Amino acid sequence: MLDLDTFLTTVYCLVDDVYQAEIRPCLPRRTGPPARLSDSEVLTVGLLAQWNIFPSQRAFWRWAQTHLRPYFPGLPSLSRFNRLLRARWDILGVLFRTLAHALAEPSFYRVVDATPVPVCKVSRWRSSPFRGDAALSWCATKQEWYFGYKLFVAVTPEGVITSAALLPANVGDRPGAESIFVQEQYPAYLADKGFCSAEWEQQWRESYGVEVVAAPFRRHKRAWPETVYRRMAGLRQIVEQVYGHLKTQFGLERVRARTFTGLWAALAAQLAAFTVAQTINARLHQPLFTCAALCAW
């Protein structure tokens, strides 16, 4: 377990290295007085806020005022900081993808899947600020309706998320998978039965050059032997582990936002924080999913 000073320094260095190498050269030249917080500092504090040890954002900010101000003397108010972080939603995406691809090891396949991202209770969807963009859909895992989006991800066999996309909840798994293939064309992807379709698999093969191996229904004419189903389920289990850590340690199901940009900024910050934690674990030769006990907060 790292002490707070070492942890903060490590996270900042990871963020700033990516920012200086990949992000800053692409940004337009800024005029006017320098900001009280640099982009790297905003991103670092934004990532720290994603750890689920804090029961709310306000709780994190109270902790930050006491423990982070010596490191970041230009900390603004919470509302001002949230505006700064939302304005950098695209930078958060670049940060996440750059760290992920540096961490991902070569493999024969990646796993593609989707998980619900509700934005409000179903009873309140008519008054939601996301009405007209988000959608109602059925969650088969929880056996309930929800209003919101689906988060599509591609995951390596070790559990590194290499790409992600956020789409309305009523978008099917098959068309939603294309949002992943547009970002990366890995030779092979494993998927569950929701992605299974001979026509779609042929289309993906021709359009993106990827091979999608999706488990067919057991009564389908293309059904596999039971041993193959069990083997496939074991290989795909890694994506469930990833979702579990995102929900329990980074609050994936507690995202609070009132605009799509704010929602994606929050999700991108969670994905980046998760990947930063994995990168630190890899450098410390620890299991990639050791995130909660990484720092002595």
Arithmetic mean of pLDDT, 72-91: 92
Beta bridge pairs of residue 149: 117, 168
The pLDDT tens digits of the residues spanning 133-164 come to 999 999 888 889 999 999 999 999 999 999 99
Arithmetic mean of pLDDT, 79-88: 92
Beta bridge pairs of residue 144: 139
The CATH number of 105-256 is 3.30.420
The pLDDT tens digits of the residues spanning 237-271 come to 999 999 999 999 998 888 888 889 999 999 999 99
Domain ranges of the chain: 105-256
Please say whether the beta carbons of 163 and 184 come within 8 A.
Answer: yes
Arithmetic mean of pLDDT, 268-297: 91
The pLDDT tens digits of the residues spanning 166-177 come to 999 999 999 999
Q: How confident is the model at residue 33 (pLDDT cuts 50, 70, 90)?
A: low
Q: Which two tokens stand for residue 133?
A: 């963009």
Residue 220 has pLDDT above 80, yes or no: no
**pTM (predicted TM-score):** 0.92
If you average pLDDT over every residue of the chain, what do you get?
Answer: 91
Q: How confident is the model at residue 32 (pLDDT cuts 50, 70, 90)?
A: low
